[in-house]
Structure formats: C-alpha cells, structure tokens
Amino acid sequence: MPFFRRFYRHFLKFLLFPLVLSLLIYLFTKSSIAAGFALGTIASIFLLWNWYYNLERAYGSEGKIRTGTVARLLIVIVTCLFWVRFPDVFSIFGIAGGLLLSYIMIIFRAIKELTK
C-alpha cells in the first residue's frame, strides 16, 4: 500500500473533520480561536506526516535512525510565527489545541501498536 494511503488511513481521515469544522466556524463567526485551531490542525498534519515518514524509514533501516525532531520543531516555530505576525487573526490557544492533536494521535498510535 502506498505511503499516502497508509498515512490517510492512520491519521489524515481523523484530522480532516476538526479542520473542516474549525474552518466553517471561522467562516461564520470570524473567531480567532477557530482560525488558530485550523492553523494548528494544518501544522499537526505536517507534523504527523514528518513523524510517520521517519517511522516508516526506521522500520526498514538498519543504520542510523532519524526521528525528524528538527523539522517538527521548525514546523511549530513557523506556526507560532503566524501568531506573532497576526495576533488578531490567530489565537495562541487555538494553535496550541490544534498542535496538541498531533501528539494525541501519536499516543493513540503507540497504544494501538502495544495492544496488538
């Protein structure tokens, strides 16, 4: 099965619902929390893609295992820079909530693997 299909099945299909919901809430209410949550959810998708890509590479690797920590840190920094540049549009609490989704998904993935 191709990488993107596995990524969609494990993570993306669960993150699309909160993303679309927060975008709809933002369109109708212009809420900064909803805009921040949408931005954080988009960043979570990139974080999870990076994490899952490195996890898949580690399965087949016998040499050095990379975790992609620097790239994930840069994604979070860039996301927070959106808040610094546009504090009236994006709420930092919404961004933090959206970013938290990626770590919740990683924990659920680990629990699922441990209970196999």
What would the mean pLDDT of 70-85 be, rounded to a whole number? 94
> With 80 as the cut, is the pLDDT of residue 7 above it?
yes
Burial (CB < 10 A; 0-12, 13-18, 19+), residue 26, is buried
Residue 15 sits in which domain range?
3-114
Neighbours of 64 (CB within 10 A): 6
Q: What is the structure's pLDDT at 39?
A: 97
Q: Mean pLDDT of all residues in the chain?
A: 91
Backbone angles phi and psi of 50, in degrees to 5 = -60, -45
Number of domains into which the chain is organized = 1
pTM to 2 decimal places: 0.89
Where does the pLDDT of residue 60 fall: very low under 50, low under 70, confident under 90, or very high at 90 and above?
confident
